[in-house]
A and B are shown apart, each in its own frame.
Chain A
Amino acid sequence: MMTTAYTPDMSLITDDVHPALGHWELPHFAEEHELPPRDGAPGQERVIQFREALREAMSEEMRRDQRIFLCGEEVAQYNGAYKVSQGMLEEFGEKRIIDTPISENGFAGMAIGAAMMGLKPIVEFMSWSFSLVAADPILNNAPKMLYMSGGQWGCPIVFRGNDGAGGQLGSTHSWCVEGLYANIPGLKMVIPSNPYDAKGLLKTAIRDPDPVFFLESERMLGDRAHVPAEEYYIPFGRARRVREGDACTLVSWGRPVNFCIEACEKLAENGIECDLLDMRTIRPLDIDSIVASLKKTGRVVVVDQSWPFGSVASETITQICEHGFDWLDSAPVRVNTRDVPTPYARGLEHAYLPNAERVVEAVLRIVEV
């Protein structure tokens, strides 16, 4: 019964994906120019809704990999509270499309355990607002497991759901969690602004071996755009230039990118052309593209639909100052939601959001006309 000597092997890890995850296949992450065209040939467009793009991403990956399952409230028989998972129960059955009780703490933790054990869960939060009661598992377990176990157990999991103000849902249902959660090392965070990106980014999120927080918006689920039929994966950490200009750099992610597009159109009427960057992921955050744009414009406005104090916008501006200070012709400006709980009344909610008017105003403040 004598214990043998302990002689650990302390060699270095050389694999791309940490060995805690076992054998792990990564898809080909295309560079921007290799991705299929964003616009379909005239008459050949395949226009689908944002929610369908999400569904296609999940279904394609689930067909490929049996380890993937989807769980959350109302995802199966009800077809999804927001119809994202419509029809998936029929295709994949109740063992892989799983209706859960209203126990975010319980089912998020359960999914994390399943991920540690080698499965690939997709957890749908009806709203990220409800993820707050699951704070312990999603913040304390998922992003720290690999580290805390000294590289023994990974946690490949995707948490996804609606983030930010819906339509007049009031303060409990309108959380923008990126300001809180992006603070945490060990997780990746993706916030798409359109159907094309949503599909390519969600497919990448599912193939990624780390915990990915994927933030959608109820207000965009019905947005329609051409989404190519061919398969593509959008790499994390690569911003997309939505509009080209040299008056000012506009940086945003998620739904406010659409506010920025509206603002750019208004500004263009006055001859002000902005360089609009859609960050797509904020952890990683493509600071290189921001600085490259800044070299051209000398001015930057960051638009973020979460509260200003300690927000992703503040982090972005800090990084801009660290990496692009010499190119700044004026102080960077942030446009966040107003610093109050989310109101209900339509007019109040509009005023609260980083809407197009507020973006225009911010740009005009620093651009010499």
Chain B
Amino acid sequence: MTQATSKPRNADTARLSDALPNETLLKWLYDMQLIREFEARTMQMYQQAKIGGFCHIYSGQEASAVGCTAAVNHDDPIVLAYRDHGHALARGMHPAACMAEMFGKLAGCAKGKGGSMHMFDKPNWLFGGHGIVSAQTPLGTGLAFACRYQWEVMETAKKRVCLTFLGDGAIDQGAFHEAQNLASVFGIPVIYIIENNGYSMGTAIHRHTANCDRLTMRGESYGIKSIEVDGLDIRNVYDQMKPLVDECRDLQRPGFVDLKTYRYQGHSMSDPQKYRTKDEVESFKERDSIANLAAHLMAQEDDGGRGCLTEDDWNTMQKDIRQIVMDAVAFAEQAADPDPEKELSTDTYALPMKNLSPSENYSHGTKNPLL
């Protein structure tokens, strides 16, 4: 499989992220580690059958969710596919709400109606978690269409952009091509971020998509500004994403990002991974985004680092995170199941009326716990 090597480092070249305060990079480290730890527990809970359905683990790709969201504002909408726990946490969803959702509890972010693949968080402008490969790409285009409309026609909002994440497998769907064409023709500020982990389930990218070494050609062919990003280095993700985001926001134009990354776990929890070697996985683990950022923050300034994190700090941070995730699991364990009598038919219609269904008497039920 093809992966971009890191951008050549030149100590003399100022990086955009160098101007950010230490706290910001420490927060990135924290968020990435939170996702890593959260996913480790998720796998455990899945194996214990506390979590059902399809469950896709994000470990290895953390720099993408955390780095990309760092490049936008909080009220810039985000939408993605089913490998969504990481983005939910990166966006600020409480780990307990995310875990409780996977446990199918009423206190989960979608009241137990969405599950692992359908994480929604309105206060954090997260529009899901979508299970159908590439279905989110026209949706994200529409979120961004509305952003522009609210700025330009209604004059009720400032300029915003929408980040729409998709996998490398999703680029083969017609929906994505229609979405790109619409975005370019209409001038829609949507940024398609292809989290290119080299595989669509068990199909390596060169086996599922043409010209896989030059995906940016696709975006360019629609007149969309397209870039390639080494997605394993979070500082680099930010360095490249921030200018693109600023440009798309300013010009109200779409963007296309081939973000090279790698997933450490199988496609879903039921994947024996016959299609790749252990060596390949190990070679990527050597470039681990979390270890690298931690090393950078611990290294002294003379060595090109920040010197803002000690070994002890890092251990404490990991310990705190472990506790937070354990608390999230404990919360999910004890949280109440949705009562089928009360909750099965709620949230079906925004304006329920008589005779909508031969079997249901729809009502609104319990408020969403995040609202």
Contact = CB atoms under 8 A, between A and B. Distances in A.
A19 interface: yes
Interface in B333-371: 346-351, 353-358, 360, 364-371
Interface residues of B, number: 78
B268 to A, nearest CB: 19
Nearest to B347: A151
A31 interface: no
A5 B143 CA distance: 31
A340 interface: no
Given A1-B320, A6-B97, A8-B369, A237 B354 contact: yes
Interface in B302-319: 317
Contacts of A287: 355
Interface in A120-139: 136-137
Given A156-B350, A186-B348, A100 B142 contact: no
Q: Give the interface SS of chain A, mostly helix, strand, loop or mixed.
A: loop
A113 B30 contact: no
Q: Place the interface of chain A in its size category.
A: 35 or more
A209 B350 contact: yes
B130, B149, B370 interface centre (most CB from chain A within 10 Å) = B149
A17 B350 contact: yes
A284 B121 contact: no
A152 B371 contact: yes
Contacts of A154: 350
Contact of A113 (B95, B138, B348): B138
Interface string A55-74: 00000000000110100000
Interface stretch (B12-20, B178-186, B204-212): B178-186
Contacts of B107: 6, 8, 10
B269 interface: no
A113 B135 contact: no
A150 B347 CA distance: 7
A316 B135 CA distance: 33
Nearest to B174: A105
Given A113-B139, A117-B147, A147-B113, A17 B132 contact: no
A107 B142 CA distance: 8
B365 A13 contact: yes
A236 B353 contact: yes
Nearest to B149: A119
A26, A147, A318 interface centre (most CB from chain B within 10 Å) = A147
Interface string A267-303: 0000000000000000111111000000000000000
A11 B368 CA distance: 9
Contact of A150 (B26, B142, B182, B368): B368
A12 interface: yes
A319 B141 contact: no
B202 interface: no
Nearest to B142: A113
A18, A113, A115, A236 interface centre (most CB from chain B within 10 Å) = A113
A234 interface: no
A106 B153 contact: no
B370 to A, nearest CB: 7
B143 A113 contact: yes
Contacts of A318: 358
Given A10-B366, A140-B132, A106 B150 contact: no
B146 A210 contact: no
B284 to A, nearest CB: 27
A114 B179 CA distance: 13
B351 A100 contact: no
Contacts of B287: none
B192 interface: no
A21 B114 CA distance: 19
Contact of A208 (B181, B331, B351): B351
B142 A110 contact: yes
A95 B149 contact: yes
A250 to B, nearest CB: 19
A105 B103 CA distance: 33
Nearest to B113: A150
B350 A117 contact: no
Contact of B135 (A17, A140, A283): A140
A114 B358 contact: no
Interface in B137-191: 137-147, 149-150, 152-154, 174-175, 178-179, 181-182, 185-186
A30 to B, nearest CB: 15
Contacts of A151: 111, 346-347, 364-365, 367-368, 371
B112 interface: yes
B108 interface: yes
Nearest to A283: B356
Contacts of A100: 182
A111 interface: yes
B179 A106 contact: yes
A67 B150 CA distance: 8
A79 to B, nearest CB: 20
B175 A106 contact: yes
B349 A146 contact: yes
22 contacts: A1-B26, A13-B366, A18-B351, A20-B371, A105-B174, A107-B178, A109-B141, A109-B178, A110-B182, A111-B142, A113-B143, A115-B142, A116-B127, A117-B143, A145-B128, A148-B114, A150-B109, A150-B368, A151-B367, A152-B368, A236-B353, A283-B356
Closest 9 interchain pairs by CB?
Answer: A113-B142, A109-B138, A106-B178, A8-B369, A150-B110, A117-B146, A150-B111, A6-B96, A13-B364
Given A10-B369, A141-B139, 5 more contacts: A10-B367, A95-B152, A106-B175, A119-B146, A319-B358
